[in-house]
């Protein structure tokens, strides 16, 4: 039986929320619950019916959403037939809806519990007829109205029931829902709706890790531990499904700070993180690029960096993709607020703007800020707290295993094309390149290549290259060690040249005092190296002027074989102001803390303190800085040996500096004739007979001379005629006050 009726508007908003077709109470028998509506040939839509007296007879009311879906217009004539569902075959077992706010302009981060939504939906629409593609209006707990579009419907398969199998399901075009229907809600594309709970439909998630990424081809050597720590802290939560993260109540890390010496791979690691992630193209910004001469432009530059992420966060909410912003030299724009004297406050406002974007009132959750710096101490503390740049990773100098990895990476292509000789051993090179950074190791490989290429270039009148020899070119072990000796020196390595200058004459073991100092000194070296030690050993080597203290300190530093040895000498700080001197000393100590084993030689400490006996005068600022640094423990796991030389023990005692040292070694002047003879024997300037004669002349006499002064005297005696040397030596010793010819 068919009815001809006219389409009309739904009489009230309350009835439109039922999502049913509204008919007059007298138009259909009470047992007719569904209708097949046909607006045109071949068009059929199944609607549940709702009765009211507010619709005129012969009319059927539809809401705007229903009219759009069924392509109906007001007063359109349509054919209507009563419809009855056939048993169990049309019962919907599962329905999934594409869900969004009814008004598309609405954006909200308020979470919607999909489990409660499913329960509420079944209470409101139990027995409802649904068709794939049908759109519904859903009022959930008096919150904002939601628009639902039927995505898929599944019903019981009658064939499976007939064969006695377990209840199987099949996809259907339409059916009716019951109280047992499983309801799932899937967020519509580009919607900001924040769905939570188990009834949230399975979303095909794009993996955050690039599927083409190969960890073996990272090209990062010696940083496995650091990379694993960054991955654990910053990306593990982004790989786990969001449902689990919701249950944990976990928040993603939004900032990473990579700091450490230049050339250790900070920029390389940040670049690799950007490549590894399946996210937007990273924005790489150098700190100084942000600063602008116009007022407000620097802050605007920061806002522009975050604008794209901000817009996507508003549009998509928690489903927004990840935006990576990499700040190289972040210390240029994020200095401690109030630390830049006499400026316009631009640095401070830039820091404030950055803080507001990362973790302010309107914080963004779809960003990852990676900052890189060599000077972590300059960065504002507020930027380093959890919630901002909370993962702070020191990218330090590589250890031997790391150096081997880096050398293998940089020599891989040479190996692939057979351009490297068989005698090149990366393990041997790694052992010989203590305190080399990654960049310096790369420079070493380049220097070795240039040495190898230079062998084939003839620079006579013209520069000529033998093409056949070029084909056979191979970089050899000798090329690497030539580069190591002549071309590349580590910025944080051993001050070998300075130590060799200090030890130009070597150490002359003229007697037991020297032997005892070297023995005790080596014990302190072993104490500094020992794992059970506190990590800090400071030794004062004191004695009269010219007694050889500097040479002994340099010898102990050389014998320690520590990878980091630096000399802090007053001759490097001539003309420095007090504050500049303190900064220079501080930098030497800061560099030492970066190496596992470090030795600092502080030479002639009273000159460093600007001490003068007339006055007396000294630099209290430098003294206080040294006292702090001499007592400061190095970071955990790092060992530091400090060797300090001084000719003014009594002055250091007055300055209360002696208590800062672990121990004090006294270097005496030469005070016995046999010790002078031992020095003369070592210098090989006199014959045995002359040495015996000099020994007899000096026997029983009082001797007091520094080794340095004695060696200078010997150099002068070398210039005289051989037959007069012994007499000249004795007379000069007496003149210089090193020998008292009176008996004692």
Instruction: Find the CATH number of the domain harbouring 689.
Output: 1.10.8.60
Pair 331, 432 in one domain: no
Which percentage of the chain shows pLDDT scores above 90? Answer: 8
CB contact at 8 A, 605 and 550: no
Residue 46 lies in a domain: yes
Residue 204 is assigned to a structural domain of this protein: no
Cα distances (Å, whole numbers) of residue 492 to 55, 223, 292, 433, 440: 89, 18, 35, 11, 10
For residues 240 and 301, state if they share a domain.
yes
- Of all helices (H) and strands (E), which one includes residue 443? helix 438-454
Q: Which pLDDT band, with edges at 50, 70 and 90, does 165 fall under?
A: low
> In terms of domains, do 513 and 660 share one?
yes
* 365-384 per-residue burial string, b: 16 or more CB within 10 A, e: under 16: ebbbbbbbbeebeebbebbb
The reported pLDDT for the residue numbered 342 is 45
Domain identity same for 284 and 181? no
Partners of 138 in beta bridges? 146
Residue range 316-325: mean pLDDT, rounded = 73
Q: Are residues 179 and 229 in the same domain?
A: no
| 279: in domain | yes
Q: Residue 123: its pLDDT value, please?
A: 86
Query: Which tens digits make up the pLDDT trace of 81-118?
Result: 888 887 666 788 888 988 888 887 766 667 788 888 88
Residue 700 lies in a domain: yes
Range picked from 107-116, 287-296, 381-390, 645-654 for highest mean pLDDT: 645-654
Matching residue, tokens 């068919």: 2
- Would you state the pLDDT for residue 112? 82
Give residue 585's pLDDT: 92
Supply the DSSP string of 364-415, one letter for each residue: -SSEEEEEEES-GGGB-GGGGSTTSS-EEEE-----HHHHHHHHHHHTHHHH
Structural domains of the chain, count: 6
Structural domain including 614 reads 495-666
More confident residue, 365 or 405: 405
Question: Do 355 and 244 lie in a common domain?
Answer: yes
Phi-psi region of 592 (alpha: psi -120 to 50; beta: other; left: phi over 0): alpha
* Domain closes at, from 631, 649, 666: 666
* pLDDT at 492 exceeding the cut of 70: no
In a domain, 133, yes or no: yes
Domain end point (choices 468, 486, 504): 486
> Which pLDDT value is given to residue 460?
61
With a cut of 60, say whether residue 430 has pLDDT above it: yes
- CATH number at 131 reads 3.10.330.10
Q: Which helix (H) or strand (E) holds 113?
A: strand 111-113
pLDDT on residue 717: 83
d(CA 49, CA 22): 6
Shared-domain flag, residues 647 and 600? yes
Is the pLDDT at 122 greater than 80? The verdict is yes
Tell me, yes or no, whether 501 and 623 share the same domain. Answer: yes
pLDDT of residue 346: 56
pLDDT, tens digit (0-9, with 9 covering 90-100), for 339-366: 554 454 556 777 777 777 777 666 677 7
Give the pLDDT band (50/70/90) at residue 744.
very low
Torsion of CA 27, 28, 30, 35, to 10 degrees: -130
Strands (E) across 157-259 are located at: 169-171, 174-187, 194-196, 255-259
Residue 205 inside a domain? The answer is no
Phi, psi torsion values for 589, nearest 5 degrees: -70, -40
Cα distances from 728 to residues 186, 546, 686, 721, in angstroms, run 105, 21, 12, 10
**Which residues are paired to 475 by β-bridges?**
420
> The domain spanning residue 64 has which CATH number?
2.40.40.20
Considering only residues 322 and 75, tell me which one the structure prediction assigns the higher pLDDT: 75
Co-location of 508 and 590 in the same domain: yes
Whether 620 and 701 map to the same domain: the answer is no
Q: Is the pLDDT of residue 185 over 60?
A: yes
* Whether residue 72 is found in the same domain as residue 118: no
pLDDT in tens, 40-58: 888 888 888 888 888 888 8
Q: If you average pLDDT over residues 730-736, what whole number do you get?
A: 78
The first and second tokens of residue 522, run together, are 């080596």
pLDDT tens per residue, range 696-720: 888 877 788 888 888 888 888 888 8
> What confidence tens digit (pLDDT) does each residue in 236-262 have?
777 776 667 777 777 788 888 888 878
Whether the per-residue pLDDT at 304 is higher than 90: the answer is: no
- Structural domain includes residue 202: no
pLDDT above 60 (res 488)? yes
Res 509 pLDDT > 70? yes
* CA–CA dist 410, 414 (Å, integer): 8
Residues 262-276 have pLDDT tens digits of 877 787 777 777 777
Q: What is the pLDDT of residue 627?
A: 92
Write down which residue in 650, 666, 682 finishes a domain. Answer: 666
Would you state the pLDDT for residue 340? 56
For residue 358, give both structure tokens: 């990362």
Contact at 8 Å (CB) between 593 and 635? yes
pLDDT of residue 316: 66
> Does pLDDT of 516 surpass 50?
yes
CA distances from 310 to 319, 353, 385, 562, 592 (A): 13, 14, 22, 51, 43
User: How many Cα atoms within 13 Å fall on the side-chain side of residue 494?
Assistant: 17
**Between residues 19 and 279, the one the model is more confident about:** 19
Same domain, 410 and 479: yes
> How many Cα atoms sit within 13 Å of 74 on the Cβ side?
5
- Specify if 341 maps to a domain: yes
pLDDT value at residue 87:
65
Record the tokens describing residue 732, joined without a space: 């000069």
Mean pLDDT for the chain overall: 81
> Measuring CA to CA, how many Å separate 278 from each of 173, 250, 275?
37, 21, 8
CATH value at residue 377: 3.40.50.300
pLDDT reading at 200 higher than 80:
no
């Amino acid at each position: 039986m068919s009815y001809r009726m006219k389409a009309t508007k739904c009489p009230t908003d309350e009835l439109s929320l039922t999502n049913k077709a509204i008919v007059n109470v007298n138009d259909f028998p009470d047992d007719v619950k569904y209708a097949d509506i046909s607006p045109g040939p071949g068009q059929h839509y199944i609607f549940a019916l709702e009765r009211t007296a507010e619709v005129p007879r012969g009319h059927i009311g539809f809401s705007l959403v229903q009219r759009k879906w069924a392509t109906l217009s007001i007063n359109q004539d349509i054919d209507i037939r009563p419809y009855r569902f056939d048993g169990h075959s049309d019962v919907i077992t599962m329905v999934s809806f594409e869900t969004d706010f009814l008004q598309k302009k609405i954006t909200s981060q308020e979470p919607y519990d999909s489990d409660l939504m499913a329960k509420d939906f079944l209470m409101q629409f139990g027995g409802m007829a649904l068709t794939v593609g049908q759109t519904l209006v859903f009022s959930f707990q008096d919150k904002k109205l939601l628009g639902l579009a039927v995505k898929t419907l599944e019903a019981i398969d009658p064939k499976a029931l007939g064969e006695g199998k377990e209840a199987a399901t099949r996809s259907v075009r339409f059916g009716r829902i019951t109280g047992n229907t499983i309801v799932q809600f899937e967020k519509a594309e580009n919607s900001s709706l924040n769905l939570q709970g188990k009834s949230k439909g399975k979303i095909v998630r794009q993996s955050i890790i690039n599927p083409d990424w190969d960890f073996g081809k990272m090209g990062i050597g010696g940083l496995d531990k650091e990379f694993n720590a960054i991955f654990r802290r910053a990306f593990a939560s982004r790989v786990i499904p969001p449902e689990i993260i919701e249950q944990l109540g976990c928040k993603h890390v939004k900032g990473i700070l990579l700091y450490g010496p230049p050339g250790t791979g900070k920029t390389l690691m940040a670049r690799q993180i950007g490549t590894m992630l399946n996210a937007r193209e990273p924005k790489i910004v150098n700190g100084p690029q942000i600063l602008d001469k116009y007022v407000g432009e620097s802050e605007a530059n920061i806002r522009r960096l975050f604008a794209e992420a901000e817009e996507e966060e508003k549009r998509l909410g928690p489903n927004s993709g990840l935006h990576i912003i990499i700040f190289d030299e972040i210390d240029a724009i994020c200095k401690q607020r109030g630390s830049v004297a006499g400026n316009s406050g631009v640095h401070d406002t830039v820091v404030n703007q950055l803080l507001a974007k990362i973790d302010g009132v309107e914080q963004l959750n779809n960003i990852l800020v990676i900052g890189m710096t060599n000077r972590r101490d300059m960065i504002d503390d507020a930027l380093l707290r959890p919630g901002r740049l909370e993962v702070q990773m020191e990218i330090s100098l590589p250890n031997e295993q790391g150096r081997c990895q880096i050398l293998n990476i940089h020599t891989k292509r040479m190996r692939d094309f057979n351009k490297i000789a068989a005698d090149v051993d990366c393990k041997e090179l790694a052992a010989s390149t203590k305190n080399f950074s990654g960049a310096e190791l790369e420079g070493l490989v380049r220097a070795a290549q240039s040495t190898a290429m230079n062998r084939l270039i003839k620079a006579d009148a013209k520069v000529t290259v033998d093409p056949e020899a070029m084909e056979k070119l191979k970089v050899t072990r000798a090329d690497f060690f030539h580069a190591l000796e002549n071309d590349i020196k580590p910025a944080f390595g051993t001050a070998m040249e300075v130590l060799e200058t200090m030890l130009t004459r070597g150490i002359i073991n003229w007697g037991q005092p020297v032997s005892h100092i070297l023995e005790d000194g080596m014990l302190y070296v072993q104490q500094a190296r020992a794992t059970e030690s506190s990590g800090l050993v400071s030794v004062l080597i004191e004695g009269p002027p010219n007694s050889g203290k500097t040479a002994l300190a340099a010898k102990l530093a050389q014998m320690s074989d520590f990878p980091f040895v630096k000399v802090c000498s007053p001759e490097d700080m001539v003309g420095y102001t007090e504050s500049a001197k303190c900064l220079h000393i501080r930098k030497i100590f800061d560099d030492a803390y970066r190496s596992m084993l470090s030795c600092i030689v502080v030479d002639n400490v009273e000159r460093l303190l600007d001490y003068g006996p007339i006055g007396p005068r000294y630099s209290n600022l430098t003294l206080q800085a040294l006292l702090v640094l001499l007592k400061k423990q190095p970071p955990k796991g790092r060992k530091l040996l400090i060797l300090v030389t001084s000719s003014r023990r009594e002055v250091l005692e007055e300055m209360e500096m002696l208590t800062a040292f672990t121990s004090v070694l006294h270097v005496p002047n030469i005070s016995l004739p046999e010790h002078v003879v031992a020095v003369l024997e070592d210098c090989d300037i006199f014959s045995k007979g002359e040495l015996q004669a000099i020994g007899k002349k000096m026997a029983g006499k009082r001797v007091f001379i520094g080794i340095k002064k004695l060696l200078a005297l010997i150099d002068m005696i070398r210039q005289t005629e051989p037959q007069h040397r012994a007499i000249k030596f004795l007379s000069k010793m007496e003149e210089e006050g090193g020998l008292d010819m009176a008996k004692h």
